[in-house]
Structure formats: C-alpha cells, structure tokens
Amino acid sequence: MAIPLPILYLGLPMSYNRIRYLPVDELNERLEELLAFKSTLEDAQTELSDLAKDETNEDAEAQQSALEDAQNAVDAAELNFGTAESAELAKLEELRDDIGSKGDLIDDENGPFIHENDFKEYAQELADDIGAIDPKAGWPLNCIDWDQAAKELAYDYTSVQWDGDTYLYRS
C-alpha cells in the first residue's frame, strides 16, 4: 500500500499540522521590492527638480526635452510606487520596527512567527521535536494539558500584529 505524500502548495507556509506561520521571506522580498520602487521614484523626482531649477542651460529645446524625459521617468516610477504601495511599505516597516529588527529587513533570527490560534499545536510539535514527549508513554504521562503548556511556553514569546492577526515569536 502506498503512503500518501503531503501536497506542497508553493508560496504558502508548509506544515503537516497546518500551523500558520508569518511568511517572513516573502514579506522581506516585498519589502525590498517596495524600497527599490521608492528609491527609483525619489531619484526621478530629484532629477526633475534639479532640471527645473537649472537655469544655466542655454539650449531651451534641450532643456525642455530633458524636463519631459524626467517627467516621464517620474510618471513611470509612480506606476510602481503609488499610494497603495506607499501604504503597504509603511505597514511592512511598522512590522519590522515592532519586532525590533536592526536592518532594513524583517528580522526572523528569533525563530518562526506562529499564529496565536495555532500556538497550542506549535507547543505540541515543539515538545515532540525536542524529545520532551515519549511517544511510547502511556497514562498518566500522556495526559498533558496542552492549553496550559502553551500558555506557559507563551511567556517566552512576544506578540506582533500583522494583517489583523496576532503572531507570536520568541523574545
């Protein structure tokens, strides 16, 4: 009899128990992308501003052409970094700052970010992973109050809000 293999969903957190984790790698990729878009827009705006202030150019036609090119660069950059992207960047930067990251990216050195509703399952999985639970143990050793165990474990974790959900990470 064949053993069914787990289905892999690309781009989604993977867990056999379906514990939800904050996808830090994906958030960092988006954060880097938005920072690059913002930088491109700022550079284009600076170029346009500098050209508009430049009164040393005696060739009016060349000056006008340069201004139009600079305005086109600003317009193109605004397509990638508009109001929605600016708000998204602010939200990602707030998350990064809330967890105390030291660099430009969201720091995940303190382990995974576990959805609060899945923390009990995480505690069970962690206990199993570190060998704290003997899989052959019977009563009374298999009578663990996992709600209380998760509550005790949570004392070493800090919460952070993301997209209306609360995630816990090791503090």
Q: Please, which pLDDT band fits residue 123 given cuts at 50, 70 and 90?
A: very high
Higher per-residue pLDDT: 110 or 154? 154
CA distance 6 to 28: 27
Higher per-residue pLDDT: 149 or 1? 149
Please answer whether residues 167 and 113 qualify as being in contact, where contact means their C-beta atoms are separated by less than 8 angstroms: yes
What is the predicted pLDDT for the residue at 153? 94
Residue 35: how many CB atoms within 10 A of its CB?
A: 16
Q: Please, which pLDDT band fits residue 17 given cuts at 50, 70 and 90?
A: low
**pLDDT at 15 exceeding the cut of 70:** no
Report CA-CA distances (Å) from 153 to 78, 118, 122, 158, 159. Answer: 46, 13, 10, 11, 13
Of the listed ranges 84-88, 135-139, 146-150, the least confidently predicted one is 135-139
Of the listed ranges 4-13, 91-100, 143-152, the least confidently predicted one is 4-13
pLDDT per residue over 56-84, tens digit each? 767 778 888 889 999 999 999 999 999 99
What is the predicted pLDDT for the residue at 60? 79
Q: Please, which pLDDT band fits residue 90 given cuts at 50, 70 and 90?
A: very high
Burial grade of 73 (CB within 10 A; 0-12, 13-18, 19 or more): middle
What is the predicted pLDDT for the residue at 100? 78
Residue type (1 letter), 105: L
pLDDT per residue over 105-119, tens digit each? 777 776 789 999 999
